[in-house]
Amino acid sequence: MRSAWLRIVRYNTFAILSPDISIEEPVLAFNPINWLLGLFSLDIAIDLGTANTLVNVRGKGIVINEPSWVTIDKRLRQPLAIGLEAKEMLGRTPGNVAVIRPLRDGVISEFDITQVMLEYFIGRVHEQSVVPLPRPRVVVGIPTGVTEVEKRAVYDAVMASGARSAYLIEEPIAAALGAGLPIADIRGSMVVDIGGGTTEVAVLSMSGVVASRSLRVAGDEMDTDIVQYLRNKYNLLVGEGIAEQIKWRIGSAFSLHPEKTMEVRGRNLVTGLPESIEISSVEMREALTGSVQVIVDTIRDALDEVPPEIVSDLMDVGICLAGGGGLLQGLADRLTDELKLRVWVAEDPLTCVARGAGMVFEDFDGLSRYLVGLERGSTRHST
């Protein structure tokens, strides 16, 4: 009993101590300073994404939407810029400065830099506050396929950045809440959240997950496909930032009417000199075929596990696309064509996870059941 109590106090999660005794949201050791600072701090929901970090403040909505990039001095290991300013430095820095993405494939790869980035964003949302040291409550979205170690890293980074309590919610659940899907109903719903590092697929019913998939093929992989395509076909070297611009302007997953073209500048790998070429949306569709097909196959695999009653529900309500990847031109049409189900893009898909996570604080008693703990088995793993 003592070890179980110590575990739940440390992790601040839900645990069952015996078949007839349960404790929900145990209180951490009382700290009067944290309590006092907490009175003047905000409730914050964070979509800690590989590509972008969004911060949703209770009562205010989305207040920060910036790239997850940090520029650091290599010698001093000190941050020089964070967010959009850091991303604009990509490929333009001297040798002693590095531009880093502290998250890869939806999980933390640089713990200290992630902590610095979170401290910066938490400080920014409290700029108008009187509290000198903010101690907010924070809920953070995590991919469904994370390991216990990866999950713990997110929790520790949030706590180290100044939060007085941290909660975790699975991204497809948060995306479904943000998109307004009736996940508590008996009728089934399905959400596909395509972010920068991961694609999350979940079929939901009665506040639970019927089937889910977490795939580390998403927006970043598409950018890499474009870089590799231009390198192989035109011997043209472009950076990740240029590839991302190409993806949003002329990238597509289905035929466009009319097709689009774009001028691309880079370095010719044969001559070593600058070169400009014109590429079309048809070529970019060819470049993205591999990644798009993997996402289609993953959704099909998830549907294969779903009971026929829920498939019937999905034929009525369709599949919801969320995340930045849902904005890829023609993706909804491609999925509709391949899956024989109506696929629709959520309103403001980029912010679905942040908005859904923020709803937890609006109705904590009702929605806290969607939060996950740090202990083994609290997050579903699907392959």
Residue 250's CATH number: 3.90.640.10
Domain hosting residue 260, numbered range = 219-288
What domain count does the chain have?
4
Per-residue pLDDT of 116-152, as tens digits, reads 999 999 989 888 766 667 788 999 999 987 889 999 9
Quote the CA–CA distance of 185 and 135 in Å, as a whole number.
Answer: 35
Joined together, the tokens standing for residue 276 give: 């400009």
- For residue 1, CA distances in Å to 14, 17, 20, 23 come to 15, 7, 14, 12
Residue 134's CATH number: 3.30.420.40
pTM recorded for the entire structure: 0.83
Question: What's the gap between Cα 249 and its chain centre?
Answer: 22
**Do 365 and 283 sit in the same domain of this protein?**
no
**Do 347 and 247 sit in the same domain of this protein?**
no
Per-residue pLDDT of 305-321, as tens digits, reads 999 999 999 999 999 99
**Do 110 and 256 sit in the same domain of this protein?**
no
**Do 143 and 270 sit in the same domain of this protein?**
no
Task: Report the DSSP beta bridge partners of residue 320.
Answer: 191, 344
Q: Give the residue among 140, 164, 161 at the shortest CA–CA distance from 45.
A: 140
> Does 294 reside within a domain?
no
**Do 45 and 160 sit in the same domain of this protein?**
yes
> Does 71 reside within a domain?
yes
**Do 207 and 326 sit in the same domain of this protein?**
yes
> Does 312 reside within a domain?
yes
**Do 349 and 204 sit in the same domain of this protein?**
yes
Per-residue pLDDT of 323-379, as tens digits, reads 999 999 999 999 999 999 999 999 999 999 999 999 999 999 999 899 998 766 555
**Do 138 and 262 sit in the same domain of this protein?**
no
> Does 325 reside within a domain?
yes
Query: Which of 241, 261, 288 is the endpoint of a domain?
Result: 288
> Does 74 reside within a domain?
yes
Query: Which of 246, 264, 288 is the endpoint of a domain?
Result: 288
The pair phi, psi for residue 344, each rounded to 5°, is: -130, 150
> Does 114 reside within a domain?
yes
Alpha-carbon torsion angle 92, 218, 54, 157, nearest 10: -90
Question: What's the gap between Cα 79 and its chain centre?
Answer: 23
- How wide is the angle at C-alpha 356 spanned by C-alphas 336 and 183, nearest 5°? 60
> Does 378 reside within a domain?
no
DSSP 373: -
- For the chain, the first-to-last Cα distance in angstroms comes to 34
**Identity of residue 167:** Y
> Does 381 reside within a domain?
no
Per-residue pLDDT of 253-284, as tens digits, reads 999 989 999 999 999 999 999 999 999 999 99
**Do 182 and 274 sit in the same domain of this protein?**
no
Other CB atoms closer than 10 Å to residue 44's CB: what's the count?
Answer: 29
For a pLDDT cut of 90, what percent of the chain falls above it? 71
**Do 52 and 122 sit in the same domain of this protein?**
yes
Q: What share of the chain is helix, strand, coil (3-state, %, to 5)?
A: 40, 25, 35
**Do 158 and 263 sit in the same domain of this protein?**
no
**Do 66 and 165 sit in the same domain of this protein?**
yes
Per-residue pLDDT of 180-191, as tens digits, reads 999 999 999 999
